[in-house]
Structure 1
Amino acid sequence: MKIEHILAGFIPETRGRDGLALAVLLARQAGARLTVGHVHPPAWPTPGPGKVDAEWRAYITAQAAQALQQARLALTGVRDVPIGYMLEADRGSGRGLVGLAGRIGADAVVIGSAPRGSRGRIALGSTADQLLHSCPVPVALAPRGYAEDHPPAIRRLAVAYRRDPASDDAVRPAAEIAAALGTPLHLITLVVSRGMRVKAAEQTLDRLRERAAADLGEAAHGHDVEVTTQVLEGGDVASALGGAGCEGALLVCASSTAGPLRRVFLGDTSMKIIRASACPVMMLPRNPPPRPAEPAGSTGGARRARSGEA
């Protein structure tokens, strides 16, 4: 998975600057270029009475230009990352960013937390919701206050892993992102004990620990980056994740298997992880499984081509 072009969604608020801070870190480490995008409401589709439609168009144009100017001011000191600025018209900010990402060929989209979240945590608003249910490229979310207190670089890429097709498919692109950023890959599995009966809890936990360690060991093989593993335990996702050590980390999650192919789709566990994480989180889109190799001389490919199958 390449990281050559990053799109940062910006609004002239603290959360916009949080997203910019994370986007600059990622672009700098990956040697990528950065586009700052601002989504504004579209002009009215039909002319209104008098000059109302022209006045509205002039107003939103001026507001959008002012937003990008604030982004430029926030990035005045950044000299080592190529930066461009673009506007997109859409009624939904998340949908607008998805459209803009496709139009410019972005490899990832970065935004900040919704404003209602606690400092150092991520809250999901309408923009994130739209991105996390439709974006065809990875979506990274910066915690609230990240612009004011962030590490000088991403030092570790942590992957929330459990043995299932979605997580297995996510490890390879996560390793490629880690290589692009020049960081080690850290695979973590959460063992949650809430809801276990007291008498059976310890035996069950022992089995879960052993299974998690074995799964992590198997997933760690065959990558071109340094890989470490860790089993984290707690009564719930938040308490288990608290032992991960998030300083300088970027946490990667796989999309739910219930979602559409080639799209980010947020499942229940991923939502809990995002809300509990004290570091930025990146959600990967769900990719189709690799197609089995056909025997030599097979005409299956030709048949699919003639029948119009992809």
Structure 2
Amino acid sequence: METTRYVVGYDGTTSAQNALKMATAMARAFEAELEIVLVLREDNPYQRVYPPVGDISPVLEAQARVWLEEALAVVEGAAGDAADGAVTARTHLWRSHSVVTGLLEAIDQLGAAMIAISAGSGKGRLSVGSVADALLHSSSVPVALAPRNYRPQVPPDRIYAAVGTRPGAQQVIREAHEVADRTGLPLEVISFLTDDDGARDAAVVESVREHVGKTVRDVTETDTEVNVASGASLKKAVATVDWQPGGVLLIGSSRLAQGRQLFLGTTAARLLRHLPVPMVVVPRPGATETGSAGLLGG
């Protein structure tokens, strides 16, 4: 069976360490290996630096290698807390003209099934930084985002799938069902409703529940929990969900995404700010694709 690999974008920061711990927990649960990538930006020979500082690349490279050694220690420490053994991890010092380009190159050349990164350091649990934002609009594989200050206390023990009533929900449900089926984890499909969507109207809530339930049944015959989380705002709707400490939420890309590529939709972007669990954004399938080729590899 082909090895499943997850790329982890790493830069030595605390938030990157949290993303690495998240990726380690997911790799253990989903039987994957980690490729920890630190991108060093290459100098542009046509760009003048003022004031002149000389060649500092040896200093940067030495520091980068220290951070990568620390990353392996983070993986070893996170895996050491589990009873089911270590996670295989390798480090890569990648050179590219930008961090985003380097990570996209690593995904392609290492054959990764997913990339894990820290979301950022702004307001909210999951605030998208510039690198995360670029990947969320260009990656060809799922992007896993760790909430700010995320500390995985238990391995993944529940899969959530966030869907709406528009076309495209089947792909996310299919992806989530495959993960749940192959790992034995329970699956809960959630649709979020706010007052703007008619959350105070019981008939609207029931209509959404029936629609999502039918979509689930079109994908799988497995008995699956369906939940409509409603509230005055998206933040309050999210707060009504009984999030498990080991939960992982899957959500699809916007309909604006090209085939087998990500494009973060407005609802997903807003949802990011309020989630207490990792979010995995799944690309739209290609025009000829009918199955899943996501977190668990091909």
What does 1:144-293 correspond to in 2, within 5 Å? 144-146=148-150, 149-194=151-196, 202=200, 205-221=201-217, 222-223=219-220, 227-247=224-244, 248-290=246-288
Give the number of the structure with larger relative contact order, counting CA–CA contacts within 8 Å between residues 6 or more apart: 2
CA distance in 1 between partners of 2:155 and 2:223 (Å): 17
CA distance in 1 between partners of 2:91 and 2:289 (Å): 39
* Residue identity matched to 1:179: D
Partner of 1:100: 106
Q: 2:3 touches 2:33 (CA, 8 Å); kept in 1?
A: no
Q: 2:169 touches 2:215 (CA, 8 Å); kept in 1?
A: no
What percent of counterpart residues are identical?
25
Q: Is 1:4 aligned to 2:11, yes or no?
A: no
Q: Give TM-score, length-normalised by structure 1.
A: 0.82
| Structure 2 spans left out of the alignment, 5+ residues | 80-84, 291-298
Partner of 1:298: none
Q: 2:170 touches 2:216 (CA, 8 Å); kept in 1?
A: no
SS at match of 1:220: helix
Q: Where has structure 1 moved over 6 Å in runs of 4 or more? A: 46-49
CA distance in 2 between partners of 1:291 and 1:75 (Å): 34
Tell me the CA shift for residue 95 of structure 1: 2.9
CA distance in 2 between partners of 1:115 and 1:47 (Å): 29
Q: 1:161 to 1:174 in 2, by over 3 A?
A: same
CA distance in 2 between partners of 1:224 and 1:80 (Å): 35
What does 1:48-63 correspond to in 2, within 5 Å? 55-63=55-63
Q: Which of 214-223 and 126-135 deviates more?
A: 214-223
SS at match of 1:55: coil
Q: 1:193 to 1:268 in 2, by over 3 A?
A: same
Q: Which of 268-277 and 63-72 deviates more?
A: 63-72
**Higher Rg of the two aligned structures:** 1
1:254-310 residue CA offsets vs partner (Å, 9 max, x unmatched): 100012221111011110111121111000011135579xxxxxxxxxxxxxxxxxx
CA distance in 2 between partners of 1:108 and 1:255 (Å): 14
Q: 1:115 to 1:35 in 2, by over 3 A?
A: same
How many matched pairs? Answer: 279
CA distance in 2 between partners of 1:179 and 1:235 (Å): 34
Q: Is 1:19 aligned to 2:35, yes or no?
A: no
Q: 1:179 touches 1:224 (CA, 8 Å); kept in 2?
A: no
Partner of 2:293: none
Q: Give TM-score, length-normalised by structure 2.
A: 0.85
SS at match of 1:76: helix
Tell me the CA shift for residue 72 of structure 1: 2.0
